[in-house]
Amino acid sequence: MVTVKLAKTAGFCFGAKRAVDMVQALLDRGERAATLGPILHNARLVAHLEARGARVVESPAQTPPGAALVLRSHGVPREIEEEVRALGLRYVDATCPNVKKIHVLAREAGAQGRIFLLFGDPGHPEVRGIVSHCAGPYFVCEGEEELQDLLKTHPELRTAPVTAAAQTTFHKIYWQKCAETLKKVCTNAAVFDTICNATAKRQKEALDLARQCDRMVVVGGRDSSNTAKLRDICAEECETYLIERADELPAFSAGLSVGITAGASTPASIIKEVLDTMAEINSTEQNFEEMLEESLKSMNTDEKVHGVVVGISPTEVYVDVGRKQAGFIPAAELSSDPSVKPEDVLKIGDEVELLIMKTNDQEGTIMLSKRRVDAMKGWDVIQEAQENGDILEGKVIEVVKGGVIVLHNALRVFVPASQATATRGEELESLQGKEVRFRIIEVNRQRHRAVGSIRSVLREERKAAQEKFWEQVEEGQAYTGKVKSLTNFGAFVDLGGVDGMIHISELSWNRVKHPSEVVKVGDTVDVYVKGLDKETGKISLGYRRPEDNPWVKLEREYPVGTVCEAKVVGMTAFGAFASVIPGIDGLIHISQIADHRIEKPQDVLKVGDVVKVKITDVDLERHRVSLSIRVLLEEEQAEADAAAAGAPENETVYSTEAPEEE
């Protein structure tokens, strides 16, 4: 029988219930309603409201005539609010009051000249809405590691006035670590704990429950941020499943204890449905267990025997155990790795220690297990490895919800997602089938549970690589690295345990608005070290090559006096800038635009025009190029005047007629 425990705080939070009640109230009054995006991240609830007539729209302009537009609990960006008012729409603001408070903090930070630092998911609607209210500089961090990177690349944050807050559904434990760092490192930081109390309480209860249970079930929408965080929290303690409906419940073995919690956007009706389904399963299991117990009374199980392999088939291995019964090992009981074949594990003639699973005297057979004997032996190795901090090796045989399963000497070790990769957010699927090194961080023989950490080994290896790197690195040294992340000001590159940054100005000789125009995450790039700061661990990298310098090309191919076509790319009061070659813009001074006086450049030119110009001056040191249209016009006019006079300019005229007599 499966024991089921339900978290006390599960389901709707205040803000979610308030938003749904607002939509329900409109529909109950017979009014037309539309929600700007799903009112909550719960597909079933949204479908229910749509069935009642609440339409989901992607923009205010799509609001049906006469309908009231409901702004969801996450809030919306300020520009959306302005669009709603500009369209004259009737609207209901269901933004959670806790989110509204963060909007105020963001606005006040800008008004006070403070840098606003928000912890959360940059792509989440709540975060996008909050940052739209920032009137000054701001940064968004997803956790402690990103905060450390930010402090390295922006050391001014250590002394500048900073206002820090968190997304209302941010991971409570992660927030506490980030807040401690800010208070220690930043001398002028105002830190506000803006995580919703209901969220914090729900996360704590889920953590406590996961520590008591063998499995956890988190009920909620897969797109819900707070539901995903509950899953991550529980997955660090035990195998965890995220489901949206009761029919997604996995099959649980008898004897397990299963904890159930639910996200803030999960209605009570769905939680009840899951509990009812679990109750039905328990009832069925109980009846099955009673029948099974009756049929197994004559079996002599849990006894170890030695046997010799006498036959192998695709589904079984046949073993002589020195008894009258024929022994066989089902393929599933050969190894904990489901991908291996029987012939990969044993061969005829092998002697093997086995565990009796079931004896059937009527058929004269004994069902045996090699996998369970190996696992029993493995517990001693695992226990010793935990005590000594040894590094073990194993193969990732399965990616489960909340982590991965690593097989080590027939023992399945659960590695939570938070301990499976070097940084948060990496895809777990990439680990499938790979050999990994890990440590054991928890062993519970009674619950047949071992928990490992790949991350701790990766971090040690990274630290060793960093020490080796700093011993050898020199300015000008070339490296091949992988682009790790992009920011507005540059690209971070993993050089093999150490990160360096290519500033946006170093990515290309041409102007770029964002690093993504040149590189993307995952790209392999060749770089060289431009600057080092061993105290802060800061590494500046160069990416663009001297031979690609457009100024070298200009000097070589476009000397003063060259006539070429240039595209107008900008206008000022004193002239127009035109692109001579990619990466170099020259100035056509207002006095050089026409052969007559003009009031402003726009009288003659506009951005996008392609004009013929003459290069009149090049200052390589100051990176300035002077261009002229006027010189060409005057030269053309001089040629025309000469032609009109009847002879080419600068040529002598000889007459073929005889001179007249006097």
Q: Which two tokens stand for residue 267?
A: 């209605």
The answer to whether 244 and 186 have CB atoms below 8 angstroms apart is no
315: left (phi over 0), alpha (psi -120 to 50) or beta: alpha
The answer to whether 257 and 213 have CB atoms below 8 angstroms apart is yes
Q: How far apart are CA 634 and CA 655, in angstroms?
A: 30
Beta-bridged to residue 435, according to DSSP, are 395
Q: Note the Cα 264 to chain centre separation in Å.
A: 22
How would you classify the pairing of strands 257-262 and 239-243? unpaired
Helical packing angle, 172-185 and 197-212, nearest 10°: 120
Q: How far apart are CA 354 and CA 555, in angstroms?
A: 82
First to last CA, the chain: 140
Q: How far apart are CA 85 and CA 290, in angstroms?
A: 67
- 301 closest CA partner among 248, 354, 351, 263: 354
The answer to whether 53 and 128 have CB atoms below 8 angstroms apart is no
37: left (phi over 0), alpha (psi -120 to 50) or beta: left
- Sheet of 68-71: strand order equals 54-57, 33-36, 68-71, 91-93
Cα-based distances in Å from 200 to 169, 172, 229: 8, 6, 11
Q: How far apart are CA 538 and CA 526, in angstroms?
A: 18
Continuous segment of H or E residues that includes residue 218? strand 215-219
Q: Is 370 helix (H, G, I), strand (E, B) or coil?
A: coil
Q: Which two tokens stand for residue 5?
A: 């425990």
Write down the residue that tokens 């997304």 correspond to.
Answer: 167
Q: Note the Cα 566 to chain centre separation in Å.
A: 42
Strands (E), 78-193: 91-93, 115-119, 138-141, 162-166, 189-191
- Sheet of 257-262: strand order equals 3-6, 257-262, 215-219, 239-243
Annotated active-site residue in 50, 79, 81, 126: 126
Q: Is 237 helix (H, G, I), strand (E, B) or coil?
A: coil
197: left (phi over 0), alpha (psi -120 to 50) or beta: alpha
Cβ-Cβ contacts under 8 Å for 455 (sequence gap 6 or more): 418, 419, 420, 421, 422
Q: Is 184 helix (H, G, I), strand (E, B) or coil?
A: helix
Q: Which two tokens stand for residue 546?
A: 């001297």
- The C-alpha angle 431, 433, 437, rounded to 5 degrees, equals 65
Strands (E), 379-434: 392-400, 403-408, 411-416
Active site residue 126: yes
Q: How far apart are CA 8 and CA 204, in angstroms?
A: 11
How would you classify the pairing of strands 138-141 and 115-119? parallel
The answer to whether 483 and 520 have CB atoms below 8 angstroms apart is yes
Provide the annotated active-site residues. Answer: 126
